Amino acid sequence: MRVLSEFGKFWYDLIVGDDWKIAAAVVVALALSALLLTRTGTPDQIVAVVGGTLVVLGFCVSLILDLRHKD
Amino acid sequence: MTTAAWAVLVATYVACVVEAVEATTIIMAMGFTRSWRSTWSGVATALLALAVVTTVFGYALTSWLPEAALQLAIGGLLLVFGLQWLRKAILRASHRKSIHDEEKIFREQQEAARLAGDQPDGFDVFSFMVSLKGTFLEGMEVVFIVITFGLNAHNVPVAVLGACAAVITVTILAVSFRKPLAMIPENTMKYGVGLLLASFGTFWAIEGLGVLGNRHKSIAWPGSDAAILVLLIIWFLVTRVFIVALAQSPGGADPRTPAPTKRTVK
């Protein structure tokens, strides 16, 4: 059980890192972009721009939340 | 070699130097404090495990996954790595997080090694496990970086060359100085690499979303590969805005002033 726990912690540290909110922001931004692509039939290039913008916004929001928590 | 190949070589080299320096600090702390034989065994085991994981997953991913799915998976991971590095760079530049200090980490690793108890006469499990974990963790990040930069430029051998050159450089420096490589401007390099990882990660992850569409093919960015440069500029501007804003807010400090003397491990 301890080995499994260590194994899980290793991959969590590697992939998610210090702040889970950043990983969550990336997942949400990509999920919203995927919905835009699959549900609305929006052209590729617009999806790319909107997706990129969502990723940047997601990072900003997660960092602001992190800073508020630290303060 | 083309300009693009040189760019991949330099980017991979710088990124891998950062990871190699971190692994070297752990290895030296274990070797000098406990047992070089067990430490090297841990490093060798980690390198072997990395080779197996890279070969198996690399073959599986490139053989069975469509290109767009590969872009989504690796781009998403790289994006998370890059944004974590940028977060740390912002917090460090505004003095809300202590800078990464190899000498401090070296001392802490040595202290942990001493507290782990007496070194047995035979095989030392503690130094074996710590060096194995440290090398494997940093090595996995190197693998992701090499795969991403290499595949994106359609030149994996050049990316591998950059990574090998980085490991050789750091090894030579470590053997020459026989102490933590604190002289390497690791924090600045991490900021630069973080910008690259975030830019490539954004580009690839969004492109890879096309696997979910009707055509199951990568979606195209406006301007094609030139979009990576635009993303790089955007990430740079975003991080600078945060650094300046945080420096001017209560609890922050002018990013141009020297780093605080109190330092902690990441």
ipTM metric: 0.90
Q: What is the mean pLDDT of residues A61-66?
A: 92
Mean pLDDT for A47-66 is 94
Answer yes or no: is B265 within a domain: no
A59 or B182: which leads in pLDDT: A59
Q: Across the interface, do A30 and B80 touch by the CB < 8 Å criterion?
A: no
The C-alpha of A11 sits at a distance from chain B's nearest C-alpha, in angstroms, of 9
Residue ranges, chain B, pLDDT below 50? 255, 258-266
Share of chain B above pLDDT 70, in %: 85
B145 within some domain: yes
Full residue range of the structural domain in which residue B202 is found: 3-248
The pLDDT, as a whole number, for residue B10 is: 86
Q: Please name the residue of chain B whose CA is at the shortest distance from the CA of residue A56.
A: B235
Rounded Cα distance, B222 and B231, in Å: 12
Q: Give pLDDT, residue A41.
A: 82
| In a domain? residue B198 | yes
Domain-embedded: residue B264: no
Rounded to a whole number, what is the distance in Å from the CA of B54 to chain A's nearest CA?
15
Q: Is B60 contained in some domain?
A: yes
Query: What DSSP state is assigned to residue B100?
Result: P
Residue B260 in domain? no
Residue B66, classed as helix, strand or coil, is: coil
Kindly state whether A42 is in contact with chain B, defined as any CB-CB distance less than 8 angstroms.
Answer: no
Distance CA A47, CA B130 (A): 44
Query: pTM of the prediction?
Result: 0.77
Between chains, do A44 and B210 touch, taking CB under 8 Å as contact? Answer: yes
Q: Name which of B145, B171, B175 is nearest B11 in CA terms.
A: B145
Angle among Cα B24, B94, B144 to the nearest 5 degrees reads: 40
Which pLDDT band holds residue A27 (cuts at 50, 70, 90)? very high
Question: Helices B3-33 and B102-115 meet at what angle, rounded to 10?
Answer: 40
Q: How far apart are the first and last CA of chain A?
A: 37
Alpha helices in B178-220 (DSSP H): 186-208
CA angle in degrees (0–180, nearest 5) for B58-B168-B48: 40
Cα–Cα distances in angstroms (integers) from residue B24 to residues B131, B138, B170, B175, in the given order: 9, 10, 8, 10
Task: Verify whether the Cβ–Cβ distance A71 to B205 is below 8 Å.
Answer: no
